[in-house]
Chains A and B, each alone.
Chain A
């Protein structure tokens, strides 16, 4: 048995790959659900019901979708240019703690919309800087950014821990380690009454559309794809390699930082060390599942959010541990990698 490269990659196959991957992941997880002693069909229905069965359920799913879109975009943009940003989690937290610190008082007495935009920008810049350093190190000294961005996640998490136990600690939180809450003007407007759903979702969707256009229509999009596909040919064509990668790093880090900001301004109002249930890492899976296409990221983020939200209620109803959501999402990364392989190669005997 051997693999042969397909000469033409069909559009249908490209679209089917993620669908097939998700189905395969669900089948694989089905085995584990059966092992836990539950009916597989019932379990998946319970997940769907838990994610969309009520107003509370679907608003909650969409609330979780928003940061996943942003961290997914961060990974997709970076991976397209072969900048291996595994540090989405760290950039998320640095963006969050920056917004929380600056938003704890309205220092400049800005009107609410301006304050929100300023906090978003500040958090995005924090994420940018956190990714610019590893990418600059790679360009200058050849340091592998997979290692540096991954390890920075732990550094940032410890830094956040230090801040919320120290200078930013909320004195009114009965000793819980959480940051001082943001002022009420900085809170993101809600999209639906009596829910946690906020305008961050619209911001994320808008960015997905803009980035899709950027990727496929602009000079920068073509340049960043070229640099990812073949750096030597890009240099020969006169594309500035370093500058392009640094711009990509700014975008990617900024998006992950922004995810942290909207989670603080839209949902919690303060930072704790469990603000993110792994949004940064899940973003990588979301990006892969979307085949690095920005609009696809939005769809893949809904899938991941569905699993995360739905599995909680499934767990309550059927007694299957809610960790099954993490397993399914992780499976979907593996099956997607196989699906991608099969969409560009065929198996020959």
Chain B
């Protein structure tokens, strides 16, 4: 790894944002924010969801007009609200949601928008040479003729970065770049960023993850509720201090207490699952007892999604048996799972967990439409559903709306609280939590961990599927690794550390034992 150069105060300032204020209605998303960026520097913009990080970067890139303030690049003031001017000034942005055309090749995507519409021919040869030299210089491997649709998420992000560099970006903004990446892909991204900084590029990346901020940034700017609250050199701060600055109060993740495992609530014996003709899970065996947490850890794409589906009642065993609370799961559908006491936290809140355009109360009873409390003779019992939802909103501290509000209005953390609430309010016997804290900020993570531990202490058998090693280690009593659709034998979490987990995740079960 190449160390980033020390940015002495003598290095020139390439970017300055001065007194930026942006209001949406009466809400100030950015309130008098000023920041500078020097050549060759990596700055992390840290803040919780809704702190105004993305808004600030959208102003810099010209997507939003600020109500007050100015932006200058290399001493020249940037006309605001014009992305083209920002690109011309050398600002490149990599969005959280990629802006690539999947049906085009890498080269076509990179070239898009760089040539005049009126030119007779497109100079692919020159473009290819330029792309190759950029790729060479920054160590960004890319096959120019590959279709973007065939690339992995990490590779697509590389194409986004190449696209910005191809436009001669000297300032690169990355919005939550690791949100979609695996830990290994994140590491390689940060390595690339350091190479680019060494070449004189200046980088701002937005994040709410303390680990990566500490690992990759030279300087950390903390945004809270639209205001810039602190600025620290990464070498002179700690994760604890940053967490406190970000949330505005001390947050401690709850700690697991020893518990007594009770009777077996779920058992899989030799389960295979086949989806669309592809075998996703092979010979899966596990036991879950009441009052304990089984952690399933693995690099993404090793069958976690299918395992979560199996335990949610969305996929059925092709062979082998899965017994849930004494019943053969092959005979049950998703609603039966809910009815017999399985709480299910889906992997993807927005696409599976809730329907944004329905109200909160409609979302809480959607999986209980066979329950006579909420539906009778084919009619929905709105009064009962509202009351049920109101109870959840109060007990689980869901903020941002009442039972009648549209669910879309909730923040990610509050939506997750609603989903946990509708599952846990009935004291479930089994809790399946798939990637429960993905994309959540520190405060919300602590709340979610608290709920998972509370459910376990109340006697639920918990299955936690996660890619976050710290999370698995903190919450689990026993751990199994998932590799290529197979599960390792269970290992007690006591005495387990990240290194041993890493070995298990790479399939070296014996070495880790």
CB–CB A219/B375 < 8 A: yes
A10 interfacial by beta-carbon distance below 8 Å: no
CB-CB under 8 A for A218 and B366, given A236-B312, A236-B334: no
- Specify which chain A residues have a CB less than 8 angstroms from the CB of B358 in the assembled complex: 225-226, 229
* Chain B residues closer than 8 Å to A8, beta-carbon distance: 409
In the complex, chain B residues whose CB is within 8 Å of the CB of A223: 369
Give bound CA distance, A234 to B335, whole Å.
11
| Cβ of B330 under 8 Å from chain A | no
Most interface-central of B312, B358, B366, B375 (chain A CB within 10 A):
B366
Residue B356 CB within 8 A of the other chain = yes
Asked if B63 is at the interface of the complex by the 8 Å CB criterion, the answer is yes
With a cutoff of 8 Å between Cβ atoms, the chain B residues found around residue A348 in the complex are 65
Which one of B333, B344, B378, B409 has the greatest number of beta carbons of chain A within 10 Å? B378
Cβ A238 vs Cβ B353 within 8 A: no
In the complex, which range does the number of interface residues on chain B fall in? 35 or more
Look across to chain A and name the residue whose beta carbon is closest to the beta carbon of B362.
A222
**Is A7 interfacial (CB 8 A cutoff)?**
yes
Q: When each residue 1-21 of chain A gets 1 if its CB lies under 8 Å from chain B and 0 otherwise, what string results?
A: 010100111000000000000
Tell me the smallest distance from the CB of B484 to a CB of chain A, in Å.
25
CB A349 to nearest CB in B, in angstroms, measures: 6
CB distance from A306 to the nearest CB of B (A): 32
Chain A residues with CB under 8 A of B63: 2
Question: When the two chains form their complex, are residues B354 and A233 in contact, meaning their CB atoms are under 8 A apart?
Answer: yes
Once the chains bind, are B379 and A236 in contact (CB under 8 Å)?
A: no
CB distance from B341 to the nearest CB of A (A): 14
Name which residue of chain B comes closest to A236, CB basis. Answer: B352
A9 to B64, CA, bound (A): 22
CB distance from B492 to the nearest CB of A (A): 32
Q: Is the CB of B380 within 8 A of A219?
A: yes
Partner of A226, one of B338, B351, B355, B375: B355
| Chain B residue contacts of A239, Cβ below 8 A | 366, 369
CB 8 Å contact bits of B339-373 with A (1 = contact, 0 = none): 00000101010011111111000100011010000
In Å, the complex CA distance between A218 and B377 comes to: 9
Q: Is B314 an interface residue (CB 8 A)?
A: yes
Q: Are B380 and A222 in contact (CB under 8 A)?
A: yes
CA distance A223 to B379 in the complex (A): 11
Report the bound CA distance from A218 to B313 in whole Å: 25
The verdict on A144 contacting chain B, using a C-beta distance below 8 Å, is no
A236 touches B409 (CB 8 A): no
CB-defined interface of B384-427 with A at 8 Å, one 1/0 digit per residue?
00000000000000000000001001000000000000000000
Tell me the complex Cα distance, A86–B336, Å. Answer: 36
CB distance from B302 to the nearest CB of A (A): 21
Interchain nearest-CB distance for B196 vs A (Å)? 30
Q: How far in angstroms is the closest Cβ of chain B from A204?
A: 23
The closest CB in chain B to the CB of A217 belongs to B379
List residues of chain B with CB within 8 A of the CB of A218. Answer: 378-380
Q: Which residues of chain B (159-174) have a CB below 8 Å from chain A?
A: none
Query: Nearest residue in A to B333 (C-beta to C-beta)?
Result: A238
| Docked-complex contact B355 and A229, CB < 8 angstroms | yes
Closest Cβ of chain B: how far from A190's Cβ, in Å? 35
Question: In whole angstroms, what is the CA distance A221 to B379 when docked?
Answer: 9
| Residue in contact with A233 in the complex, picked from B313, B338, B351, CB distance below 8 Å | B351
A-B contact count (CB 8 A): 77
Any chain B CB within 8 A of the CB of A39?
Answer: no
What distance in Å separates the Cβ of B328 from its nearest Cβ neighbour in chain A? 18
User: Do the beta carbons of A237 and B356 come within 8 Å of each other?
Assistant: no
Contacts of A349 in B (CB 8 A): 65, 81
A236 adjacent to B353 (CB under 8 Å): yes
Within 8 A of B (CB), among A298-349: 348-349
Task: Give the Cβ gap from B388 to chain A, nearest Cβ, in Å.
Answer: 15
One digit per residue, 1 when the CB lies within 8 angstroms of any chain B CB and 0 when it does not, for chain A 223-249 equals: 101100110111111110000000000
* B314–A236 CB distance below 8 A: yes
**Given known A226-B366, A238-B313, contact A233–B353 (CB-CB < 8 A):** yes
Please, how many angstroms separate the alpha-carbon atoms of A222 and B367 in the complex? 11
A233–B379 contact, CB under 8 A?
Answer: no
Asked whether any CB of chain B lies closer than 8 Å to the CB of A44, the reply is no
Q: Which residues of B contact A233 (CB under 8 A)?
A: 351-355, 366
Report chain B residues within 8 Å CB of A52: none
Report B88-105 CB contacts with A as 1/0, cut-off 8 Å.
Answer: 000000000000000000
CB contacts (< 8 Å) of A221 on chain B: these are: 380
B355 in contact with A234 (CB, 8 Å): yes
Question: Which residue, of A4, A219, A221, A232, has the highest number of chain B Cβ atoms within 10 A?
Answer: A219
Give chain A residues whose Cβ lies under 8 Å from the Cβ of B375.
219
The answer for the CA separation of A260 and B277 in the assembled complex, in Å, is 44
Chain A contacts for B314, CB-based, 8 A: 235-236
Q: Which B50-92 residues sit within 8 Å CB-CB of chain A?
A: 63-65, 81
Contact status B335-A238, CB under 8 Å = yes
| Cβ–Cβ contact A236 & B346, under 8 A | yes
Q: Which residues 176-226 of A sit at the B interface, judged by CB distance below 8 A?
A: 217-223, 225-226
By beta carbon, the residue of chain B nearest A240 is B333
The docked-state distance in angstroms from the alpha carbon of A4 to that of B312 is 36
- Chain A nearest CB from B468 CB (Å) reads 22
Distance in angstroms between the alpha carbons of A349 and B366 in the assembled complex = 39
Beyond A219-B378, A220-B378, whether A7 also contacts B366 by CB under 8 A is: no
CB nearest to B81 among chain A residues? A349
Asked if A230 contacts B366 (CB within 8 A), the reply is no
Minimal Cβ-Cβ distance residue in A for B357: A229
22 contacts between A and B (CB under 8 A): A2-B63, A4-B24, A7-B409, A9-B406, A217-B380, A217-B382, A222-B366, A222-B369, A223-B369, A226-B362, A230-B355, A232-B351, A232-B352, A233-B355, A235-B334, A236-B334, A237-B366, A238-B313, A238-B335, A238-B336, A239-B366, A349-B81
Other 12 A-B pairs with CB < 8 A, given A230-B357, A233-B351, A238-B338: A217-B380, A218-B379, A220-B378, A226-B358, A229-B356, A233-B354, A234-B355, A235-B314, A236-B352, A236-B367, A238-B335, A238-B367
B interface residues (Cβ-Cβ under 8 A, vs A): 24, 63-65, 81, 312-314, 333-338, 344, 346, 348, 351-358, 362, 366-367, 369, 375, 378-380, 382, 406, 409
